[in-house]
Structure 1
Amino acid sequence: MTPELADLGLAPFFTRQLNERELEHAALARVTEVQRSGVVAHDGRDERRYALGGSWFNLPAEERPTVGDWVVLNEARDKIQRLLERKSVFKRVAVGSKIDVQLIAANIDTLFIVTSCNDEFNESRLERYLALAAEAGVEPVLVLTKADLVEDADAYRDRVRAIGAHLPVEIVNSHDMKSLQGVLAWVGKGMTVALVGSSGVGKSTIVNSLSGQVVLDTGAIREHDAKGRHTTSFRSLHRLPGGGLLLDVPGMRELKVAQLDDALSAVFADVASLADNCRFRDCEHNNEPGCAVRAAIAAGTLDERRLRNYRKLLREEARHTTSLADQRHREKQFARVVQQSIDLKRRH
């Protein structure tokens, strides 16, 4: 392992996947940007674009390269041969009428969930991000921006604590490096951190401040409705002077979920624990006698909003998980037909 690749986040988890020939002759690269017909990747020496052939696009979305992936190059270093197994992957259900998976980032160590200390702050949306982080197997950190524009930023920390008592929280002014020192501590040498959140909350400003230069355009939240303007239009991986890597993700208007059953139970552990104490095992937490969830709401120890969001996410997760299973079945059938066609052409 070269120092340059180690700085890009290469770890034994990935090198153990290489066979003897690859260890001797092949090169590795990390995907830093995904384009329509190819990817940009860094091999430890320089960054270049690699075209993806049609065979890649016949694969399901989850088997194609995304930002943060490690890929094996051929000996000439001009073609991607294969994708290494990921240690983590952050994904969502793709936007649109077709139910499919959209990969957001791979092989990240920490997820910065960025929100601002104003009307943009939304507990239900944060719970969605936390569920996606739990499913991805990455540690979430809540980053509260624009702290310099409010009188009591700690009030927002308290609101975070209400949805997760032990969640790490960093309160920052994205333009002030001193206030960003706590954030910087999460981005150590060789560590990869992805930033997610709505448009205009300051993700790009954080990347620029930590990079020490302007690498991304920045926008702002509109004052009259707390809505942000899109400034980042694509996902890209940025190296920091100290050796860490930051991945800025464009603001996502939709954050659909699927295949998150265990993750939802973890994020809403308080609700699940209360439900275990209900008198009836099939309690729906409405007006049933002996409902521990309703008793907690009445006592003020559980926010009814939290129960509503849990139910909403459970329904959405079940609906999209079923649709994804159907989609994957169709994709496998299509891939089988394509392979049969290729085999037939080779025989003739």
Structure 2
Amino acid sequence: MQRVEEVKPNNFFVNQCKENEQLGRVLLGAHGIYTLLTMNGTLEGRLSGRFHHELTEARDYPAVGDWVVYVGDGRACVIIQRVLNRRTLLSRKKAGTTTDEQVMVSNVDVVFIVTALTKEFNVRRIERYVHQVYESCARPVIICTKKDLCEDVTGRIGEVERVAPGVPVYATNNLTGEGMADIMKECVSGETITLIGSSGVGKSTLINHMLNAEVQDTKDARSKDDRGRHTTTHRELFTLSNGAFMIDTPGMRELQLWGDSDTIDQTFEDIEAYSHHCKFRDCSHSNEPQCEVLRAIDDGELDDARLINYHKLKRELKRLELKEKYGSHRTNRMLHGPNKI
């Protein structure tokens, strides 16, 4: 395995181009210089003056995974003229009080949500990741690393499956590579995969196993919390031996959601299924009579903590929508009333 040296677009992107236009896929981007993967190998590119002038939002700039049209023969820095329409887009809200979008990667088919089965394990965080993947229109797969350090692998896998119904879940041993054969079945030739997760959960080690090469630096886990140290600092595209592509991403301390509150039901499809049998069509599953969701919790069919997180994520996304529309001052008043924060 080696880093990608050339790449061929599929018809979705080819059909957006005029005859004889040159296409490249963004491998890296920093300080206005982009590394492109093309049919002619790896080239360096920058934005044309007109393209740069026409950009209005952060999401309009090329991101890792994007297909772009460029001009030039590669003997000098080629000029990027536009970004083609994306099939999928994985974003999050920038940290802080801003409502700006931060694009992570584009045009990925599958997102591996990587979590460790050690002290880092948190099913509420997994729910957040699953929702964001559904929001991107990609397919989620959950990879649970460090099974050799977990005393109850079966129990924890069961917890993951309950909060991510229908999502494939795999466990792997970072040291030996146990479980990698099953994970590789999710890597389809021609598709693009990316990995997301907290710092130190073993994404770089997982990539090295999948690529069968030491392409990503790794560091030993800290003894106090069983977590590896943050090693990936940028997004980069690789190719697997079977023709699938992979984009690594830096670890995240937190994932602030980006998207629409109306899409949350796909992540919580078990709650959505029960809600169809509630007495009231607009039931909020809080204190309404004959609420099937609350009945399922009382009978032990649903986890109360899952419903609490469902409401929390709904509020978080609704707050984001209102901030974008009205600004932060009115958002608090609309969500909580004039005298509450």
Aligned to 1:239: 239
Give the secondary-structure state (helix, strand or coil) at the position aligned to 2:198.
coil
**Deviation, structure 1 residue 142:** 0.7
Deviations 1:281-310 (A, max 9, x none): 454433333222221111111111101111
Q: Distance in 2 between matches of 1:9 and 1:190?
A: 9
Residue identity over aligned pairs, in percent, reads 35
> 1:43 pairs with 35, 38, 41, which one?
38
Q: Distance in 2 between matches of 1:220 and 1:126?
A: 24
Q: Distance in 2 between matches of 1:40 and 1:247?
A: 14
Q: Distance in 2 between matches of 1:182 and 1:285?
A: 38
Q: Distance in 1 between matches of 2:325 and 2:237?
A: 31
Cα pair distance change 1:301/1:209, threshold 3 Å:
same
Matches within 5 A, 1:173-252: 173-177=173-177, 179-226=179-226, 228-252=228-252
Cα pair distance change 1:151/1:84, threshold 3 Å:
same
Amino acid at match of 1:56: H
Amino acid at match of 2:40: R
Amino acid at match of 2:81: Q
Amino acid at match of 2:67: W
Give the secondary-structure state (helix, strand or coil) at the position aligned to 1:318.
helix
Deviations 1:61-110 (A, max 9, x none): 12111010011111435111111111111111112332111111111111
Give the secondary-structure state (helix, strand or coil) at the position aligned to 1:79.
strand
Matches within 5 A, 1:1-348: 8=7, 10-19=9-18, 23-24=19-20, 26-52=21-47, 55-56=51-52, 58-77=55-74, 78-177=78-177, 179-226=179-226, 228-325=228-325
Amino acid at match of 1:16: N
Amino acid at match of 2:16: Q
Could you tell me whether the CA contact under 8 Å between 1:174 and 1:180 is conserved in 2? Answer: no
Q: Distance in 2 between matches of 1:250 and 1:6?
A: 22
Deviations 1:285-336 (A, max 9, x none): 3333322222111111111110111111111101112333569xxxxxxxxx
Q: Distance in 1 between matches of 2:141 and 2:282?
A: 35
Gaps of at least 5 residues in structure 1 are 328-348
Cα pair distance change 1:270/1:179, threshold 3 Å:
closer
Gaps of at least 5 residues in structure 2 are 328-341
Deviations 1:241-300 (A, max 9, x none): 332211111111121113233431111122223233333445443333322222111111
7-16 vs 187-196, greater mean Cα deviation: 7-16
Q: Distance in 2 between matches of 1:9 and 1:226?
A: 41
Amino acid at match of 2:143: V
252-261 vs 6-15, greater mean Cα deviation: 6-15
Amino acid at match of 1:65: P
**Deviation, structure 1 residue 9:** 5.6
Could you tell me whether the CA contact under 8 Å between 1:258 and 1:316 is conserved in 2? Answer: no
Instruction: Name the TM-score, length of structure 2 as normaliser.
Output: 0.86
Cα pair distance change 1:188/1:276, threshold 3 Å:
closer
Amino acid at match of 2:11: P
Could you tell me whether the CA contact under 8 Å between 1:257 and 1:316 is conserved in 2? Answer: yes
Cα pair distance change 1:190/1:118, threshold 3 Å:
same
149-158 vs 97-106, greater mean Cα deviation: 149-158
Q: Distance in 1 between matches of 2:155 and 2:97?
A: 39
Could you tell me whether the CA contact under 8 Å between 1:31 and 1:68 is conserved in 2? Answer: yes
**Deviation, structure 1 residue 192:** 0.9
Instruction: Name the TM-score, length of structure 1 as normaliser.
Output: 0.84
Deviations 1:103-135 (A, max 9, x none): 111111111001111121111111111111111
Cα pair distance change 1:297/1:107, threshold 3 Å:
same
Could you tell me whether the CA contact under 8 Å between 1:113 and 1:196 is conserved in 2? Answer: yes
Amino acid at match of 2:290: G
Cα pair distance change 1:204/1:9, threshold 3 Å:
farther
**Between Structure 1 and Structure 2, which shows a larger proportion of helix residues?**
1
Q: Distance in 1 between matches of 2:156 and 2:254?
A: 23
